[in-house]
A = this chain, B = another copy of it.
Amino acid sequence: MHILIFGAAGMVGRKLTERLAKDGGLGGREIAKATLHDVVEPQAPANAPFKVRTVSSDFAEPGEAEKLVAERPDVIFHLAAIVSGEAEADFDKGYRINLDGTRQLFDAVRNIGDGYRPRLVFTSSIAVFGAPFPEAIGDEFFTTPLTSYGTQKAIGELLLADYSRRGFFDGIGIRLPTICVRPGKPNKAASGFFSGIIREPLAGQQAVLPVAEDVRHWHASPRSAVNFLIHAATIDTARVGHRRNLSMPGLSVTVAEQIAALRRVAGDKVADRIRREPDPVIIKIVDGWARKLDASRAESLGFKAEKSFDDIIRAHIEDELGGKWAA
């Protein structure tokens, strides 16, 4: 089978590619070829047992998606997006990539029009929800985003459902929790500290906590994010029906619970590397975010996430640190 990934150079895209290279197949079928696309050149995974082609271009330019879809991939992962902060800062760019790019990709598939009907997995976000919301956001709660990014993702979900209903492709949209522990360097995203307070102490470095310890948020590991994508690519969509967009399972924990888990898994010395430094700007942003989702529907369809934050930390230590940390 042939797999096409848009957004392959991003963190989740890279982890998905590595997993496919390790598995060599998807849903019991052997992978013959993977096409990795991003605006910057994606890196081909080491030792992939299949042919890998990397392509860099702007997929929102007319004709770009067509070229890649013309090869009739069996599964398309659409992970490409302008992130929240940038989509808010640059209105035109956010709409051009997140809305027009998505629609052009969907239309590229539709326009083949000879019965070609690939599985299309779209990563949406809990940013489709906007405060105020209930303590746990249910599967039937409405989407009233408070960012342009969330708006663009919610529109992508609607298009995905309509194009699937009309038989143009077999789509499924998954709303990812905040990914934690995010590997790599600290970044300036408002959500960065959720990962930073785990990642930096384990690496022997100080981390800054800009919010109160009773702040609650919704997390899943990068490993779970990849599991969601694989499951979405292989699930029997007849079980999903017309409601193609699903809130993924996750773990609702407070910052205090995150720190307690770090203390249990890695010891006091590591957990003591967190410095409290309240930041009113970040406090205000985070206050509007979802704290917990009721992902019953996705769970009943077989999507699974970690059951404890200790497991999320252990997944990070295994996958990113080779099992060792700076004690």
Interface residues of A (CB under 8 A from B): 91, 130, 140-146, 148, 151, 154-155, 158-159, 161-162, 165-166, 242-243
Contact = CB atoms under 8 A, between A and B. Distances in A.
A166 B243 CA distance: 29
Q: Which 5 A-B pairs have the closest CB atoms?
A: A151-B162, A142-B142, A151-B158, A155-B155, A144-B243
Contact of A140 (B141, B159, B166, B243): B141
25 contacts: A91-B166, A130-B242, A140-B141, A140-B142, A141-B142, A142-B143, A143-B143, A143-B158, A144-B161, A144-B242, A144-B243, A145-B158, A145-B161, A146-B165, A146-B242, A148-B162, A148-B166, A151-B158, A151-B159, A151-B161, A151-B162, A154-B158, A155-B155, A155-B158, A155-B159
A170 to B, nearest CB: 17
Contacts of A140: 141-142
Given A140-B141, A141-B142, A144-B243, 18 more contacts: A91-B166, A140-B142, A142-B142, A142-B143, A143-B143, A143-B158, A144-B161, A144-B242, A145-B158, A145-B162, A148-B166, A151-B158, A151-B159, A151-B162, A154-B158, A155-B155, A155-B159, A158-B158
